[in-house]
Amino acid sequence: MKYDYLIIGSGLFGATFAHLACNVGKRCLVIEKRSHTGGNVYCDNIADINVHKYGAHIFHTSDEEIWNFVNSIVPFNRYTNCPIAKAPNGRMYNLPFNMNTFYQMWGVMTPEEANAKLSEQRLEAQLRMKREGVSDPRNLEEQALMLIGKDIYEQLIKGYTEKQWGRKCTELPAFIIRRLPVRLTFDNNYFNDNFQGIPIGGYNRLIDGLLEGTDLKLNTDFFSDRTYFESLADKIVFTGKIDEFYNYRFGKLEYRTVRFETEIIDMPNWQGNAVVNYTSIDVPFTRIIEHKHFELFGDRVYSNSKTVISREYSSEWQEGMEPFYPINDNKNEELYLKYKAIAQTEKNVIFGGRLAEYKYYDMAPLIKHAFDIFMKQK
């Protein structure tokens, strides 16, 4: 059979594109090198708990069209992301930075008091840079100190960021942290979006719904027989690594990866929250996820006598590991632009998604991007 589209990768971009194409009568074949669909949103079921195998995924958007679209596939619950952080001083703080955080850090109780403390610490950072003859932040550390001050930087940003990127904050570019959310309200909701939640029953239900009507082959590597697979369809939708597609002709792009250490615990409620960041450099992992809190709220958390946690360890990506986060420094951006220039000359290949575009995407913008790309095919 000749297909209209060969879609390489069954993550959110590929699955959404397949869904849109099938809805207008196009024949699609999705091939996936892993043993499961869904890319990094895939969930394992462990002890009757949906475990986010590749890290926490929280869907959030203010785009009503996208929200209605995903809910037409599977209804979403009302999960609200309210992470907390355990700091080097042993205390717990609410995230994002808001009046709860400032009360926990300084004991301030009003927005005016919090703003005065923030202004004082920002001024200290400005004066320090002035003494060193610097007008603009040269690195992430200086940028963070200018935005939020010494106390929050040292307790909640420095160690976590250095573990996440594997580099000192003084060695990281300032643009990584150009903005920091600062709220002078007692609001622990991490996102400002109008809509937020998790698919009821887990993300696998969303992916299964998106892929309904497509032909699917798992454990199938496009590069194992590229000529054969390219002959199967008029057009290719490629969601893998763009440098691999071009046989690394300019060199390899770099990534950060994450290793997960998952454990079943014989108690119903271990940390009391879905996401707890560990911001001390002395703690080797960046955060612990307790997965049941994504779907069981209030007393319902005790309906399952067990719980599942995952510790996350960030490291440099090496061949054979899953590439997670593009390292968007100048060197890698220049390399990616060389690949992008070739990709733009392709008439029958569509590049989409985190790896193919060497760009980190939240889930809702990625789905919207798949919509936009598909509409251009008409």
Question: Catalytic positions, please?
Answer: 179, 183, 256, 287, 312, 360, 362
- CA–CA separation, 53 and 71 (whole Å): 22
Q: For residue 139, how many C-alpha atoms fall within 13 Å in the half-sphere facing its CB?
A: 10
Cβ atoms of 309 and 285 closer than 8 Å: no
Q: For residue 97, how many C-alpha atoms fall within 13 Å in the half-sphere facing its CB?
A: 21
> Burial code of 334-347, b = ≥16 C-beta within 10 A, e = fewer?
ebbeebeeebeeee
Cβ atoms of 41 and 203 closer than 8 Å: yes
Nearest 5°: the CA angle 34, 236, 4 is: 110
- CA–CA separation, 238 and 172 (whole Å): 31
- CA–CA separation, 318 and 274 (whole Å): 29
Q: For residue 260, how many C-alpha atoms fall within 13 Å in the half-sphere facing its CB?
A: 18
